[in-house]
Chains A and B, each alone.
Chain A
Amino acid sequence: MGMVKQPVFAEIAPAARRAFFALAVFAVCLLFIFPVLWLILTSLRPVSGVYYVHRGLEFTLGNFAEVLRDERIVHAFVNSGLIATLATVLSLMVTVSSGYMLSRFRGPIARTWFGTIYVFRCVPYISWVLPLYFVTQSWGIYDTYLGLLLPHIAVHICFFSWLMKGFFDGIDPSMEYAALIDGCTRWGAFLRVALPSAIPAISALAVLCWLFTWNEFLFALILTGQKTPVITVVMAQFVSEMGLQWNLMSATAVMALLPAFVLTLFGQKYVIRGLKI
């Protein structure tokens, strides 16, 4: 390239530059989706194909069928879905009011609450999930839905109150003020005036919350046992116990990724809005 004379270079430059740009973008995209593509490819190969994956062109859906025959895995999928859904509904109910409070009021109470939330957001999960094991056991809710659900809601409080505050900050409070003057109660102003205008933001958060709970690992690892397995924990055990069956492993992982794919395709707008704070 260095040998090319200047005028020629100037002529080919725009086209070459555009080609180079397109190629670079393509390469980066490929790099980003390659691990997922490779996982999908592995999940579609028969056992013999996995270990000699770089030869042969056999493909099969047998891995999925075999994984779905495993009761524990099906159970884990059901549990994960159930817990993610319930946790989403409940934590949104809790954080919407807390975020509204942070956005609309000033003064010592609001300041204290904000400070508390910031501090607890910084506390590493491990510091409260270790003793939580004993807490849930002594309350008899260890390895039950409740014992995983309630801590999951608590995890989201700090971050989501923060996000909710941001959403409500973007909504003009003058409508609520007008409602108050017209004789509406504070609850009425919150529930009937502010809440409906926050619905788009809340649905964004709902998508995120569902994903976070579905993807969560540490809490599930410590707070669940034999009775309420969830999919992330089952997969992690899979790696250490059956580390050699990569085709089955991949099939499970692909199925666990499905909700994420669906959300990426259809809910991208909401997820993006939720993540932009």
Chain B
Amino acid sequence: MKVLGQSRRRFGEQERFMLLLITPAALLMALFQVLPIAIGANASFRDWALNNPKKTWVGLSHYIDVITDPAFLQVVLPNTFLFMAVSVAGALAIGLCLALVLNRGFRGQKLVQTMLLLPLMVAPVIAAIMMRWMFNDQFGIVNVVLEAIGIEGQPWMAQRWSAFGVILLTDIWLWTPWFMLLLLAGLQSLPKEPFEAAAIDGTTSWRVFRYLTLPMLRPVIVVCVVIRSIDAFRTFDIVWTLTGGGPARSTELFSLYAYVHAFLNLDFGKGSAAAIVGAVIILVVGLLLYRLMDRVMKV
């Protein structure tokens, strides 16, 4: 990879080429990412509401509002982290099982793989609509089936934890194939020899999994978990479509909290402050995860 970087004589020319290559991307990012973030940061220190055209400077008061807001501390943050942990762990566990099964190879494996990949192509909004229909309290198939076997149907979307469960289910359904695909690719690229040696020694399949497959697969798992955790933290669409944060704002995640304050309560300053608090949290988490990723990759 170093070859192209070796012409020491034309030092400036190479740097110019490098900069030219990233100029369009950097320009777009500056205009549509960096600038908005700067404006948002500015707004978070101001009283940026409709009834105040002067946009008075209010210092840190929005931030204090947000981090002392009991809804944010006791509902939104726990929800967000719980969602992140359960959805990533669930999709990872199921995805790993499916990848192990698919890796064994059997008749019809291609067809099975195609079917299992289907959720990957489904828009989160559509997935949410499907689940909402299935868990509809009057006409949804879930309640109909439950009642048919003698269990009382639940108003799924009207209770906090069942609504949260449906949100988790939707997210795990959507993302399991992604884990499955990447882990399967990882499994297929593992060297064969250790497994052959283990087979000759008559090692049980659990021990093969625990002491061979899992350690060798660890780099792939860590990369998947890092990428997915960061994305899970900012989930918006499925929650918005499934529950809209309800009932009584009890299933709100961090993105929804910021959105609700900025666009429904029309308090853009507080919404921005919440968005920035969230961004800082995920940056810290992201850096920790990156460190972890780095360390695991080196091992």
Assembly CA distance A12 to B191 (angstroms): 34
Q: Is the CB of B36 within 8 A of A33?
A: no
Is A127 interfacial (CB-CB < 8 Å)?
Answer: yes
Is A64 interfacial (CB-CB < 8 Å)?
Answer: no
Dominant SS among interface residues on chain B: helix
Q: Which residues of A contact B28 (CB under 8 A)?
A: 94, 150, 153-154, 157
Q: Is the CB of B130 within 8 A of A173?
A: no
Is B77 interfacial (CB-CB < 8 Å)?
Answer: no
| A72 CB to nearest chain B CB (Å) | 16
Q: Is the CB of A123 within 8 A of B37?
A: yes
Q: Is the CB of A215 within 8 A of B124?
A: yes
Is B244 interfacial (CB-CB < 8 Å)?
Answer: yes
Q: Is the CB of A29 within 8 A of B18?
A: no
Assembly CA distance A247 to B236 (angstroms): 25
- Chain B, range 50-82, C-beta contacts under 8 Å to A: none
Is B116 interfacial (CB-CB < 8 Å)?
Answer: yes
| B105 CB to nearest chain A CB (Å) | 12
- Chain A, range 7-62, C-beta contacts under 8 Å to B: 21, 25, 28-29, 32-33, 35-36, 38-39, 42, 50-51, 53-54
Assembly CA distance A52 to B25 (angstroms): 53
For residue A139, which residue of chain B has the nearest CB? B31
Q: Is the CB of A173 within 8 A of B118?
A: no
Contact bitstring B90-103, A, C-beta under 8 A = 1, else 0: 00000000100100
Contact bitstring B20-52, A, C-beta under 8 A = 1, else 0: 011011101101110111011001000000000
Looking at chain B, what size class is its interface with the partner chain? 35 or more
Give the number of residues in A that approach B within 8 Å (Cβ atoms): 94
**Residue in B2, B4, B35, B241 with the greatest tally of chain A CB atoms within 10 Å:** B4
Q: Is the CB of A249 within 8 A of B125?
A: no
Q: Which residues of A contact B114 (CB under 8 A)?
A: 264-265, 268
- Chain B, range 124-142, C-beta contacts under 8 Å to A: 124-127, 129-134, 136, 139, 141
> Chain B: residues with CB nearer than 8 A to chain A?
1-5, 13-15, 17-19, 21-22, 24-26, 28-29, 31-33, 35-37, 39-40, 43, 98, 101, 106, 112, 114-127, 129-134, 136, 139, 141, 144, 173, 176-178, 181-182, 185, 223, 230, 233-234, 236-237, 240-241, 244, 254-255, 258-259, 262-263, 268, 271-272, 275-276, 278-279, 282-283, 286, 290
Q: What are 15 residue pairs bridging A and B, where the CB atoms are less than 8 Å apart in the complex?
A: A29-B116, A32-B115, A35-B127, A39-B129, A109-B19, A123-B279, A124-B275, A130-B271, A131-B43, A157-B29, A217-B125, A232-B123, A236-B240, A256-B123, A264-B121
